[in-house]
Chains A and B, each alone.
Chain A
Amino acid sequence: MNRVLRLIRRRAISSIPVLLIVVVLTFLLLESASGDAVDAYLLSIGGGDATVAQALRQAYGLDQSMFARLWLYASSLARLDLGWSVAFGRPVFDLILERLPNTLLLMGSATVLSFGLGSTLGIVAGAKPESLGDRALSTVSLVLYAIPSFWLGLVLSIIFAVQLRWLPTSGIETIASDKTGLARVTDIAWHLVLPVSALTLIYMALFLRVMRAGMAEAWTMDFVLFARSKGLSRTRIVLRHVARNALLPLVTMLGLQSAAMLGGSVVIESIFAIPGFGRLAQEAVSGRDAPLLMGIIVVSAVLVIGVNLVIDIIYAALDPRIGASEPRA
């Protein structure tokens, strides 16, 4: 346990400079935009005179120097204050907190399903490398992984929502249905079938490929040869020795994938009109809402760090060699 605590502490300390870099670079990027949130706001309400703009800029602190504002931002960030969204007229932190559960639900279900399916099919494919089944699975997964998620989402909704009318086309739940309890849960699950399937099919292909590659490599290892010479049954070798060793890279993949998934939530939530984190990012872009976009990027960085920390802990639990005092990889 001590080992894990030490790991958490070390990771937390090393994340601070990285997060600072993210904050400063994002701030500088959004700073270089021509026109600020006040311009965008005035445009959206049909214009305003210079004194109104001046007053608004003063209210939002936009009249101060860049470094003063960067300092102000970083210090309020330390108090978990992400600033004020101009487009929504609400605190950025509240907005993100409100949207995040939908995205976590969507991504969480897709991850669990794709990890389960992908690793299982990967074991099937990797149990007999270069066999017919392996080739078929490898080919299918190659094609699946080449499909852009937003297009797969569209095609699935053309087939199952528009043509067959089996599933709802968009939204996270039926609007103004006043459903509660179990009825609401089923309603949400029903709405999530299509987006989760689209994501699952694509991520499953990735996990399958990584698992299969890991297994193909494990087959060439000495301990597998040893297990075979001991006369262990093939099933036992596949499951206990080969698959088990191929599982670790898959867990690493999961951590690397978390950033890609958050980025991918933008398009999939746009296709299915799910009010989540990714859609918020798109709304921030179209509303020229720099504080909101900034908050979204910072929160996504924190989320990715968090996911990777959890994965490190799982890793440390799986492999006792990790965490004691190893140098940075």
Chain B
Amino acid sequence: MKFIRNLIRTPEGTVGLCILAILALIAILAPVLSPGDPLHIAGRALLPPFSDPSFPLGTDRLGRDVMAGIIHGTRTSLLVGIAAALAAITIGLCVGLTAGFAGGLIDEALMRLVDAFQIVPGFLLALAFVSVVGASVPIVVLAIALGAWPNPARLTRVQVLSIKERDYVASARVIGMHPVEIALKEILPNALPPVLALSAIIVAAAILTEAALSFLGLGDPNTVTWGSMIAEGRNILRSSPFLSVFPGIALVITVVGVYLFSEGLTKALAGRRI
């Protein structure tokens, strides 16, 4: 509770939280705000924005409602961003905890694996993964997580290495706690906060990666995404630039919201009063 109060006390945290709350509401209420399939043809093709009250942002080449696309795109963006970050942090925590706690050869081997994933450009990896396995929402999530887990893994390992030497861990060992229990009950909860502070940045990066993947046509073809809307609008950029501009603005607002939230989070975690 105190933590949330600290978060709200920072101006960044407040604004970020507001933006994200609104976006989350839009995502949850998408079927109410704009019923029906956003990929269905709704009206006349290429209506300019702000001209027809039933299509406030106009329609695209096939007569699909741009507003509906943006509303439903919020769902995909947030869902993929949060799911990918969760997956990346879970993998990172497991690898970092194992490496830091086990030490020795296991640590060495796991850290080489982390190095390997860190030197391959994450986007190329995601591209290769999606093209091999096939585009669907879970695969896109996994593909993004594949490039994002090394950072939390490194951070967790460093945390574990320092916590491992503390007295309460030593006393847990003395009273005969099982090493797995020590790792999960004593070390993990204390290693968690800095890794969680990283999570918002991972969400933002994941949202941007998802947009880039679907922009290149490697997103789930059955879901509407902002990236694919931008790509669709690109074909008629000269006559109707708004088709690409609107989903991009939605993307920027979302990522700014996540960044602000993350700054507030970092400040609140540091316990600094602003």
Other contacts beyond A147-B248, A262-B124: 11, CB < 8 A: A26-B120, A29-B132, A148-B215, A148-B251, A158-B241, A259-B120, A266-B216, A281-B127, A285-B128, A297-B124, A300-B124
Contact of A151 among B122, B147, B244, B256 (CB under 8 A): B244
Q: Measuring CB to CB, which residues of chain A are less than 8 angstroms from any residue of chain B?
A: 17-19, 21-22, 25-26, 29-30, 32-33, 142-143, 145-148, 150-151, 154-155, 157-158, 162, 259-260, 262-264, 266-267, 270, 281-282, 285, 288, 293, 296-297, 300-301, 304-305, 308
Query: Across the two chains, which residue of chain A brings its CB closest to B147?
Result: A263
A29 contact set on B, CB distance < 8 A: 128-129, 132
The 3 closest A-B pairs by CB, nearest first: A263-B123, A263-B121, A146-B255
A308 contact set on B, CB distance < 8 A: 119
> Binary interface profile of B, 90-130, with partner A (CB < 8 Å = 1, else 0)?
00000000000000000000001101101111111101110
CA A262 to CA B251, docked complex, whole Å: 22
> Binary interface profile of B, 194-219, with partner A (CB < 8 Å = 1, else 0)?
00000000001000100110011010
Nearest Cβ on chain A to B71's Cβ, whole angstroms: 19
Which of B34-42, B50-58, B230-238 makes up part of the contact surface?
Answer: B230-238
Question: B116, A22: Cβ atoms under 8 Å?
Answer: yes
Task: Contacts A17-B112, A151-B230, A158-B241 given; indicate if A297 touches B125 (C-beta within 8 A).
Answer: yes
Nearest Cβ on chain A to B247's Cβ, whole angstroms: 8
Nearest Cβ on chain A to B244's Cβ, whole angstroms: 5
B212 contact set on A, CB distance < 8 A: 148, 150, 266-267
Task: Contacts A21-B113, A148-B212 given; indicate if A26 touches B259 (C-beta within 8 A).
Answer: no
Task: Contacts A21-B112, A259-B118, A297-B125 given; indicate if A148 touches B256 (C-beta within 8 A).
Answer: no
Question: B122, A293: Cβ atoms under 8 Å?
Answer: no
Contact of A142 among B128, B147, B256 (CB under 8 A): B256
Q: Measuring CB to CB, which residues of chain B are less than 8 angstroms from any residue of chain A?
A: 112-113, 115-116, 118-125, 127-129, 131-133, 147, 204, 208, 211-212, 215-216, 218, 230, 234, 237-238, 241, 244-245, 248, 251-252, 255-256, 259-260
Question: A26, B128: Cβ atoms under 8 Å?
Answer: yes
B133 contact set on A, CB distance < 8 A: 32-33
- Pull 10 A–B residue pairs with CB atoms less than 8 Å apart, ordered by A: A142-B256, A148-B215, A151-B244, A154-B237, A262-B121, A264-B123, A266-B212, A282-B216, A297-B128, A304-B121
Nearest Cβ on chain A to B118's Cβ, whole angstroms: 7
Contact of A21 among B116, B211, B259 (CB under 8 A): B116
B230 contact set on A, CB distance < 8 A: 150-151, 154
Contact of B259 among A142, A162, A262, A297 (CB under 8 A): A142
Question: B248, A154: Cβ atoms under 8 Å?
Answer: yes
B259 contact set on A, CB distance < 8 A: 142, 145-146
B113 contact set on A, CB distance < 8 A: 21
Nearest Cβ on chain B to A178's Cβ, whole angstroms: 28
Question: B127, A30: Cβ atoms under 8 Å?
Answer: no
Question: B128, A30: Cβ atoms under 8 Å?
Answer: yes
Query: Across the two chains, which residue of chain A brings its CB closest to B121?
Result: A263
Question: B256, A146: Cβ atoms under 8 Å?
Answer: yes
Question: A270, B112: Cβ atoms under 8 Å?
Answer: no
B112 contact set on A, CB distance < 8 A: 17-18, 21
B234 contact set on A, CB distance < 8 A: 154
Question: B252, A143: Cβ atoms under 8 Å?
Answer: yes
Contact of A266 among B123, B129, B244 (CB under 8 A): B123
Nearest Cβ on chain B to A147's Cβ, whole angstroms: 5
Question: A293, B255: Cβ atoms under 8 Å?
Answer: no
Question: B241, A162: Cβ atoms under 8 Å?
Answer: yes
